[in-house]
């Protein structure tokens, strides 16, 4: 268990490299929720995420022999970049094992920061196993992504900044992967302000902490499946779990659709880009995953912004669907001149814009004299979607909503 003194010592060690990130009041989210919402923007941190804090603190504590031997770690992306930069700044050789399907943008960024990347395994846990093999074979120091006291203390420096910048804080909301971030923040805050509520948020497709708390010990889930790849671990740490038990007041989950909606809303209203894991706390606030009172001062920690561009396209489309601003439909037309024009005319009359059409006359799912049509449509909100669908059906089209 780390202490407030450990977190304060970490702040002194990392001060020359790590940025103090802004805490910004959000008029938009405050108006929507009725709470006083402040965003802790760790997506503006060096390397684009909070992980540099813990990595820098851990590497700063290495003795000379360990520095000479180098370090190794496993990461889905953000910890990889943090370790690579921290090691490079300290003159320490770093090998980082990443899952085989890690986002290309995160792999390349890690290499640019000076790390040697090894791709291995389907997920974080498999990559970690390979990293430990390298640790044993090469005598390197393993820098754990979350289950290390120096790493946790480094992440806890975020909590110090939040309390200093928001002295009237009521609730802090933090995403949970392995538990290093929330353990550090909760320790820093609860040691000074035990009245502040700490809410942990998991992606529903990686909800190991909720299961662990029910069992009373860290629980390993069989698989993870979430767009929030930064928190897609199968278990919380042995070190972090008891700290979470002691300091965290509540743990909730959010769905991928809620995460996508939060990411798109954050981008739309504040022009702030977050990755899936970074949007998880805001998703919990916007979806009402936990109760809060009017005017409660809430700080969601936007932990990172390193989203892969290919993944971003998918997430944005999902978020637009959730807000009623994007619709994909399927219907069947008679294969004759003007049939497609008639369908497009109904859509245009309802002031909706077609962004893509796929017209298939050879589909085996329809009759020989019919054609299958899929259309992507830009819409203006849920009511507009319902009006458009009603108009299409009234015009005689059998419409299937695909997204």
The reported pLDDT for the residue numbered 313 is 84
Q: Quickly count: other Cβ atoms within 10 Å of residue 382's Cβ.
A: 12
DSSP string, 15-52: TTTS----EEE-HHHHHHHSSEEEEEEGGGSGGGBTHH
The reported pLDDT for the residue numbered 102 is 83
Number of domains in the chain: 3
The reported pLDDT for the residue numbered 16 is 87
Q: Higher pLDDT residue, 386 or 311?
A: 386
Instruction: Answer yes or no: do 115 and 159 share one domain.
Output: no
Query: Residue 174 and residue 302: Cα distance in Å, rounded?
Result: 8
Average the pLDDT over each of 39-53, 140-154, 368-382 and give the range with the smallest value: 368-382
Could you give the maximum distance between any two Cα atoms of the chain, in Å?
A: 79
Instruction: Answer yes or no: do 347 and 385 share one domain.
Output: yes
**Active-site residue 51, yes or no?**
yes
- Write out pLDDT tens, residues 175-224: 999 999 999 999 999 999 999 999 999 999 999 998 899 889 999 998 88
Contacts for 339 with CB less than 8 Å, ≥ 6 apart? 333, 371
Residue 311 · residue 227 · CB < 8 Å: yes
Instruction: Answer yes or no: do 156 and 216 share one domain.
Output: yes
23-25 and 36-41: which strand pairing? antiparallel
Percent of the chain with pLDDT over 70: 100
For the cut 90, the answer to whether the pLDDT of residue 29 exceeds it is yes
Instruction: Answer yes or no: do 240 and 333 share one domain.
Output: no
Residue after which a domain boundary falls, among 320, 348, 376: 320
Q: Quickly count: other Cβ atoms within 10 Å of residue 398's Cβ.
A: 9
Residue 57 · residue 184 · CB < 8 Å: no
Residue after which a domain boundary falls, among 142, 158, 190: 142
Phi, psi for residue 398 in degrees, rounded to 5: -85, 110
Partners of 141 in the β-ladder: 71
CATH code of the domain covering residue 349: 3.30.70.260
Query: Residue 141 and residue 86: Cα distance in Å, rounded?
Result: 14
Work out the pLDDT band at 267, boundaries 50, 70, 90.
very high
- Residue 95: its H or E element: strand 94-98
- Write out pLDDT tens, residues 62-102: 999 999 999 999 987 899 999 999 999 999 999 999 989 88
The reported pLDDT for the residue numbered 308 is 79
- Write out pLDDT tens, residues 96-126: 999 898 878 889 999 999 999 999 998 777 8
Instruction: Answer yes or no: do 301 and 390 share one domain.
Output: no
For the cut 90, the answer to whether the pLDDT of residue 368 exceeds it is no
| 3-class state of residue 171 by DSSP | strand
Q: Which of 40, 51, 106, 208 is catalytic?
A: 51
Instruction: Answer yes or no: do 157 and 257 share one domain.
Output: yes
Instruction: Answer yes or no: do 154 and 131 share one domain.
Output: no
The reported pLDDT for the residue numbered 322 is 87
For the cut 80, the answer to whether the pLDDT of residue 277 exceeds it is yes
The reported pLDDT for the residue numbered 24 is 97
Average pLDDT estimate for 44-68? 96
Residue 152 · residue 183 · CB < 8 Å: yes
Work out the pLDDT band at 23, boundaries 50, 70, 90.
very high
351-354: long-range contacts, CB 8 A cutoff, minimum separation 24: 351/380, 351/384, 352/327, 352/377, 352/378, 352/379, 352/380, 352/384, 352/388, 353/377, 353/378, 354/378
Query: Residue 58 and residue 184: Cα distance in Å, rounded?
Result: 14
For the cut 90, the answer to whether the pLDDT of residue 26 exceeds it is yes
Instruction: Answer yes or no: do 274 and 340 share one domain.
Output: no
Residue 212 · residue 182 · CB < 8 Å: no
What average pLDDT is seen over the chain? Answer: 94
**Active-site residue 208, yes or no?**
no
Work out the pLDDT band at 33, boundaries 50, 70, 90.
very high
CATH code of the domain covering residue 189: 3.40.50.1100
Query: Residue 355 and residue 352: Cα distance in Å, rounded?
Result: 10
3-state helix, strand, coil in the chain (%, to 5): 50, 20, 35
Alpha-carbon dihedral sign for residues 216, 220, 226, 231: positive
The reported pLDDT for the residue numbered 230 is 86
- Residue 58: its H or E element: helix 51-60
Residue 202 · residue 232 · CB < 8 Å: no
Instruction: Answer yes or no: do 299 and 262 share one domain.
Output: yes
The reported pLDDT for the residue numbered 367 is 83
For the cut 80, the answer to whether the pLDDT of residue 282 exceeds it is yes
Chain centroid to CA 190: 24
For the cut 90, the answer to whether the pLDDT of residue 147 exceeds it is yes
Instruction: Answer yes or no: do 231 and 213 share one domain.
Output: yes
- Write out pLDDT tens, residues 212-263: 998 899 999 988 899 998 898 888 999 999 999 999 999 999 999 999 999 9
For the cut 90, the answer to whether the pLDDT of residue 296 exceeds it is yes
Q: What is the pTM of this model?
A: 0.88
- Write out pLDDT tens, residues 152-171: 999 999 999 999 999 999 99
Using alpha carbons, list the distances in angstroms from residue 369 to 31, 70, 331, 372, 396.
54, 69, 14, 10, 17
Q: Which of 183, 191, 206, 303 is catalytic?
A: 303
For the cut 90, the answer to whether the pLDDT of residue 315 exceeds it is no
Q: Higher pLDDT residue, 248 or 314?
A: 248
The reported pLDDT for the residue numbered 396 is 93
Instruction: Answer yes or no: do 310 and 361 share one domain.
Output: no
Residue after which a domain boundary falls, among 86, 121, 142: 142
Instruction: Answer yes or no: do 313 and 330 share one domain.
Output: no
Residue 298 · residue 35 · CB < 8 Å: yes
Average the pLDDT over each of 253-262, 318-327, 385-394 and give the range with the smallest value: 318-327
Residue 173 · residue 199 · CB < 8 Å: yes
- Write out pLDDT tens, residues 390-402: 999 999 999 999 9
- Write out the residue range of the structural domain in which residue 122 sits: 51-142
The reported pLDDT for the residue numbered 132 is 96
């Amino acid at each position: 268990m780390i202490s407030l003194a450990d977190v304060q010592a970490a702040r002194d060690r990392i001060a020359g490299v790590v940025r103090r990130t802004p805490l910004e009041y959000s008029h938009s989210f405050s108006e929507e929720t009725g709470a006083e919402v402040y965003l802790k923007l760790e997506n503006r941190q060096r390397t684009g995420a909070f992980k540099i804090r813990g990595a820098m603190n851990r590497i700063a504590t290495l003795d000379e022999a360990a520095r000479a031997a180098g370090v190794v770690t496993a990461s889905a992306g953000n910890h990889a970049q943090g370790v690579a930069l921290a090691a490079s700044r300290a003159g320490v050789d770093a090998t980082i094992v990443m899952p085989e399907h890690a986002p290309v943008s995160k792999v390349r960024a890690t290499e640019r920061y000076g790390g040697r990347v090894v791709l291995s395994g389907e997920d974080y846990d498999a990559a970690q196993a390979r990293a430990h093999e390298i640790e044993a074979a090469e005598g390197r120091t393993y820098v754990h992504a979350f289950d290390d006291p120096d790493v946790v203390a480094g992440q806890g420096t975020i909590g110090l900044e939040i309390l200093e910048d928001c002295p009237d804080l009521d609730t802090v909301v933090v995403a949970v992967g392995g538990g290093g971030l929330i353990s550090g923040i909760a320790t820093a805050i609860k040691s000074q302000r035990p009245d502040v509520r700490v809410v942990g948020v998991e992606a529903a497709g990686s909800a190991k902490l909720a299961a662990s708390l029910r069992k009373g010990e860290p629980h390993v889930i069989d698989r993870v499946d979430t767009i929030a790849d930064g928190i897609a671990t199968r278990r919380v740490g042995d070190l972090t779990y008891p700290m979470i038990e002691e300091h965290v007041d509540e743990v909730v989950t959010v769905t991928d659709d809620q995460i996508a909606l939060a990411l798109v809303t954050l981008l739309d209203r504040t022009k702030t880009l977050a990755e899936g894991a970074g949007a998880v706390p805001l998703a919990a606030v916007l979806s009402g995953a936990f109760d809060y009172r009017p005017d409660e001062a809430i700080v969601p920690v936007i932990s990172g912004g390193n989203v892969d561009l290919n993944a971003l396209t998918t997430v944005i489309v999902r978020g637009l669907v959730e807000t009623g601003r994007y619709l994909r439909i399927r219907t069947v037309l008679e294969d004759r001149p003007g049939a497609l024009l008639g369908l497009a005319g109904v859509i245009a009359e309802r002031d909706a814009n077609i962004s893509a059409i796929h017209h298939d006359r050879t589909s085996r799912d329809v009759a020989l004299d019919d054609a299958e049509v899929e259309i992507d449509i830009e819409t203006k909100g849920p009511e507009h979607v319902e009006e458009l669908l009603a108009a299409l059906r009234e015009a005689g089209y059998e419409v299937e909503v695909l997204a």
